[in-house]
Amino acid sequence: MKLITLKAGRDKSAIRRHPWIFSGAIDEVSGNPEFGDSVEVYAYNGDFLGIAAYSPSSQIRARFWTFFEKAEINESFFEEKIEKAIALRESRGFSITDPLSAFRLIYAENDGIPGCIIDKYGEYFSVEILAAGPEKHREIIYKVLAEKTNCRGIYERCDSDVRKKEGMEKREGVVYGNVPETPVPMEENGIRFLIDIRNGHKTGYYLDQRDARKRIGELSNQKKVLNCFCYTGGFGLFALKGNASHVYQVDVSKSALKIAKELLVENKLPTAKATHTEADVFQYLRKCRDKGETFDLIVLDPPKFVEAKDHLQKGARGYKDINLLAMKLLSPNGMLATFSCSGLMDMALFQKIIADAAADAKKELQIIERFGQPADHPVSLAFPEGQYLKGLLVQLKN
């Protein structure tokens, strides 16, 4: 029998159904479990806690498949997980059969498949595996996913550096059916997008900003909008749909800006009301400051500034600097929608950073809304680490 026993007093998080077991919490490992093997987990007093996937190379030594229940981690297990995820998404208004819908079907620990992310883009799925458990069972997961969704293709995007921490090599490619080399269409709240599943950021796109993009569109009427780190222009497209007077899209990627321009035409939006600039956002904001330029609504959606705990202080400085620059560009009554996708930074710290930026900018701003993950990115109450996206909408008080 393969099992692990936790140290005395280290079972509290498991009892509360937190899915991670760190190496320092383990007292004894029995049965010589190998990469991805299922192990029974016991408290120091002998109480059974659940079944977990073992990862000998990771600081997160095991991740729970089940709590207080013995189960075979087989095809039937994954059928149940994927069927449940589909039912939950359907109950929240996401259609698994709509050939143009896009949403996150499996959000790792929060949907009972730790370390596995499955995103739907139209008739195709993009999968990212970040942990030993789903890596060991990947072929079964893909088989079940194909059967339960009748999709046309599944593409594996296992290209994250995080895989190294689990002792896994990077890997990507088609694992079922066919996935076009050209971008595939999907629709979001009336806007049509073209998603490059093979080469786009993350699994192809940032589905987690769906609700925020819609809200920016609602706020953009007759406003001069600056969309920083725009990628393929999602916030800007919704701003133009919302009748913005002009939208400025800024990103360092020439290829992403090319797609942003194409999407204007695809959605029949006024190209004359959009300007696309290939530039480093920090430098762009400084140039705008030096020229005395202002904007009515600014969106700051930067990449992750904090990759590890020892990067937190440096990342905090980055968030502060860029928000300070943006605040200086706000017109009277101007709004700033600012985001962080760094999971290691909680909302309280992020809000403090924004407040410090306002103090240094000598600006008085009010929080008028908060942003988070949409309903296809649920967060288990016992797993706050699942809440990585946070955002604030602040307005200049004159």
Cα separations (Å) of 22 from 13, 14, 84, 304, 343? 11, 11, 28, 24, 18
Cα-Cα-Cα-Cα torsion 217, 218, 223, 224, nearest 10 degrees, comes to -20
Spot the catalytic one: 158, 228, 288, 341: 341
Q: What is the mean pLDDT of residues 95-108?
A: 98
For residues 250 and 388, membership in a common domain is answered with yes
Whether 230 is catalytic is: no
Domain harbouring 8, CATH code? 2.30.130.10
Assess if residue 247 is contained within a domain: yes
Percentage of residues in the chain having pLDDT higher than 70: 100
- Taking only the tens place, the pLDDT of each residue in 106-133 is 999 999 999 999 999 999 999 999 999 9
In a shared domain, residues 119 and 220: no
The sheet with strand 38-42 has its strands ordered as 20-22, 60-67, 48-54, 38-42, 3-6, 26-30
pLDDT tens sequence across 186-203 = 999 999 999 999 998 889
Q: What is the pLDDT of residue 125?
A: 98
Q: Are 222 and 249 in contact (CB under 8 A)?
A: no
Work out the pLDDT band at 303, boundaries 50, 70, 90. Answer: confident
102-107 and 60-67 as β-strands: parallel, antiparallel, unpaired? unpaired
SS3 content of the chain, % helix, strand, coil (to 5): 35, 30, 35
Stretch 252-262: mean pLDDT, rounded?
95
pLDDT at 311: 72
* CA dihedral for 174, 177, 178, 179, sign (positive or negative): negative
Tell me the two tokens of residue 336.
């700033």
How many residues does the structure list for the chain? 398
Query: What pLDDT was estimated at residue 344?
Result: 83
Domain that holds residue 89: 75-185
Is 194 part of any domain?
no
Q: What is the count of structural domains for the chain?
A: 3
> Quick one: pLDDT band at residue 342, thresholds 50, 70, 90?
confident
pLDDT tens for 17-42 read: 999 999 999 999 999 999 999 999 99
Q: Of the candidates 19, 45, 67, which is a domain's last residue?
A: 67
Residue 304 pLDDT greater than 90, yes or no = no
**85 & 50 share domain:** no
Instruction: Using a pLDDT cut of 90, give the percent of the chain over it.
Output: 91
12 Cβ neighbours under 8 A, 6+ residues apart:
none
